[in-house]
């Protein structure tokens, strides 16, 4: 046997010997450390029944011009109807739902902000340069009259200005898991923003948990003023369905020539609530009214409880 064969034989014998050694070397011992679960724990009452909407007639909604539609049960998050619910579209002024949430997170309602450097583009309430208003008044302007000047004042007074405000809008969108949404400004005028009816419905359900937001979006008319009381701004809600449809609680309108007609609505009847979102519609108010009538005429909410475990 030559030296080369001897070396090969010794290597084989050495390799076989590893199988008979105690398993405490790096390759045979699994080393692991505990890591917290990425799944958030949620307290659930498994004995409480949950009511789910059931279409007991089988009737479909009427013809709609809207490119994207979602009718969502507020409490169970079950979709009664959806059409292109994940299509990314221009949101127009529906972005002001997020503008309001970021403002409510950062400001106190009685904080005073100064109008400075506002562009007065599109829908506005005629805020004057140097005018000082409470955050409460500005939020009414934002959510009732869909005022772009109010949105700009809220954003420009944020630490870091409007750019930092928009960054916070997108960080909150990520926090809420709005995967198909991006905000380019606080007004909805920019064509760089996009969202989906699915994300808007989820955003709205979160926003409605804030009682200030819920109360403001359901306001038909109000007059706000500056701190001196010398400058007043009468506001009328752009949502024509407020006061016209039973149970309409408002939320947010939106329109630009590029985005088309947009509307996010909450309607409550007999303890049930539905969120209706239409984007790129030719008749946002008429089609929302049709969807609301269809939803409540053709659905019943049935309580379903999980089986009792022995």
- Known catalytic residues are 93, 96, 146
| Cα gap 50→48, rounded to integer Å | 7
303 by DSSP, 3-state: which? strand
Q: Do you know the residue count of the chain?
A: 310
| Cα gap 26→205, rounded to integer Å | 52
Closest by alpha carbon to 82, among 291, 306, 305, 233? 291
User: Considering all CA atoms of the chain, what is the largest pairwise distance in Å, rounded to the nearest integer?
Assistant: 110
- Provide the strand spans (E) within the chain: 50-55, 68-73, 79-83, 112-114, 132-134, 221-225, 232-236, 248-256, 260-269, 272-281, 299-304
CB count in 10 Å sphere of residue 241? 20
β-partners of residue 142 are none
| DSSP string computed for 176-224 | TT-TT-B-S-SSS--TT-BB-HHHHHHHHHHHTTSHHHHHHHT--EEEE
């Amino acid at each position: 046997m030559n030296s080369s064969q001897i070396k090969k034989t010794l290597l084989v014998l050495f390799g076989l010997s590893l199988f008979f050694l105690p398993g405490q070397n790096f390759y045979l011992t699994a080393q692991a450390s505990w890591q917290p679960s990425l799944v958030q724990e949620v307290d659930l009452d498994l004995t409480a029944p949950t009511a789910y909407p059931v279409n007991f007639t089988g009737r479909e909604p009427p013809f709609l011009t809207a490119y994207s539609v979602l009718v969502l049960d507020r409490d169970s998050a079950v979709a009664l109807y959806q059409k292109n619910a994940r299509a990314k579209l221009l949101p127009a002024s529906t972005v002001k739902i997020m503008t309001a949430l970021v403002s409510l997170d950062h400001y106190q309602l009685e904080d005073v902000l100064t109008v400075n450097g506002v562009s007065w583009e599109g829908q506005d309430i005629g805020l004057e340069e140097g005018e000082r208003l409470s955050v409460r008044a500005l939020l009414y302007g934002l959510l009732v009259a869909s005022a772009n000047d109010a949105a700009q004042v809220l954003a420009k007074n944020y630490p870091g200005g409007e750019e930092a405000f928009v960054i916070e809008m997108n960080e909150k969108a990520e926090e809420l898991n709005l995967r198909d949404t991006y905000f380019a400004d606080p007004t909805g005028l920019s064509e760089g923003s996009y969202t989906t009816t699915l994300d808007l419905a989820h955003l709205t359900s979160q926003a409605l948990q804030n009682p200030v937001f819920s109360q403001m979006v359901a306001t038909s008319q109000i007059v706000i003023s500056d701190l001196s009381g010398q400058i007043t701004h009468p506001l009328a809600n752009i949502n024509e369905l407020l006061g016209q449809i039973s149970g309409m609680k408002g939320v947010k309108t939106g329109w630009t020539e590029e985005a088309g007609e947009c509307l996010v609505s909450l309607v409550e009847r007999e303890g049930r609530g539905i969120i209706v979102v239409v984007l790129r519609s030719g008749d946002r108010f008429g089609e929302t009214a049709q969807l609301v009538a269809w939803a409540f005429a053709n659905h019943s909410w049935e309580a379903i409880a999980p089986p009792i475990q022995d």
